[in-house]
Chains A and B, each alone.
Chain A
């Protein structure tokens, strides 16, 4: 899992809004740095890293909510949550399948077959989730979420 980047604006003498602006810039940048790896099904860490980065972005958007223009913030936060959900739907089956495999290993071949079948069904769901994630990433590009997050940071600085 990628370590969170330090936020230069989190300093003892900063105001809440200065920190808000810095935090959203750094965390948004982190999210989009994983964008190209998120759909690569051979790289399970890509989607995980983007999901964790999205959670961190969401956290700072909620913590500093009072520093941003209400409507723009509400809309951007809604999209960040939708992105987090799409990443979760894509990632959760990996975790579940790992758990199933750990149990299956301890069973005899006859008992394993049902678990293997459930794994296949989860893989099918995951493939669908990957398509939904691709559509979501296209949408956030089309509606320029990244640019709107940067604009939120600028608004926070202006006050």
Chain B
């Protein structure tokens, strides 16, 4: 996912002001995936939201010397969010990988069964399939897909719940409030 362009950045301007601009756009970007990412069917939006979280997290981590403890805390929350979306993404990657692998096994087994037929046979002898080389592999791979699907459902449910908690406590306001420069200590302290 391409990051949204940030307008008005000035290389010769203060770092703090420029960082505030970039972070504000990245916050907006992250929240732009809601409500789409709350629907478990929206795989692309969930993946893109993870990327948006990653960008925001790196920015907040980098900005800690400017914005202090609130930025550190916000970075931790965004990192946890990114990690959870990452776990969901891993499941989304694993399922098609297993499907492709099983498809390859099926093709290899079919070729092997055809090769075992009598030369010139008009049809396939059903008994030949019991000797398919990968016959013992399918069940475990099916269970692996079941596991990935179940884990994905559970993790997405957790994401919806945790996002709801973040919204309830006003996480967006917290993020925006984190963008205030650290005040120097008063004279004499």
The answer to whether B11 and A15 touch across the interface, beta carbons within 8 angstroms, is yes
Report the minimal beta-carbon distance from B134 to chain A, rounded to whole angstroms.
8
Report the minimal beta-carbon distance from A151 to chain B, rounded to whole angstroms.
17
Tally chain B residues at the interface, Cβ within 8 Å: 38
The answer to whether B14 and A66 touch across the interface, beta carbons within 8 angstroms, is no
Residues 10-36 of A, flagged 1 when their CB comes within 8 A of B and 0 if not, give 111111111110010000000000000
The answer to whether B137 and A117 touch across the interface, beta carbons within 8 angstroms, is yes
Cα A114 to Cα B144 with chains together (Å): 9
Provided the pairs A67-B11, A114-B136 are in contact, do residues A12 and B147 lie with their beta carbons within 8 angstroms? Answer: no
Chain A CB within 10 Å — which of B140, B144, B182 has the most?
B140
Cα A98 to Cα B134 with chains together (Å): 23
The answer to whether B13 and A15 touch across the interface, beta carbons within 8 angstroms, is yes
The answer to whether B11 and A100 touch across the interface, beta carbons within 8 angstroms, is no
Counting CB contacts under 8 A, is B70 at the interface?
A: no
Report the minimal beta-carbon distance from B36 to chain A, rounded to whole angstroms.
23
B interface secondary structure, majority: helix
Report the minimal beta-carbon distance from B56 to chain A, rounded to whole angstroms.
10
The answer to whether B139 and A111 touch across the interface, beta carbons within 8 angstroms, is yes
Counting CB contacts under 8 A, is B181 at the interface?
A: yes
Cα A61 to Cα B4 with chains together (Å): 15
Report the minimal beta-carbon distance from A34 to chain B, rounded to whole angstroms.
18
Can you name 21 A-B residue pairings with CB atoms under 8 Å?
A11-B65, A14-B15, A15-B12, A16-B15, A20-B11, A23-B62, A55-B58, A60-B62, A66-B11, A67-B11, A95-B90, A100-B144, A103-B144, A103-B147, A110-B139, A110-B140, A111-B143, A112-B140, A114-B136, A114-B139, A118-B144
Residues of A within 8 A of B (CB): 4, 6-7, 10-20, 23, 55-56, 59-60, 62-63, 66-67, 95-96, 99-100, 103-104, 107, 110-115, 117-118, 121, 156, 159
Residues of B within 8 A of A (CB): 3, 9-16, 18, 22, 54-55, 58-59, 61-63, 65-66, 90, 93-94, 97-98, 101, 134, 136-141, 143-144, 147, 181-182
User: Which A-B residue pairs are the 7 nearest by beta carbons?
Assistant: A114-B137, A114-B140, A59-B58, A111-B140, A114-B141, A16-B18, A17-B11
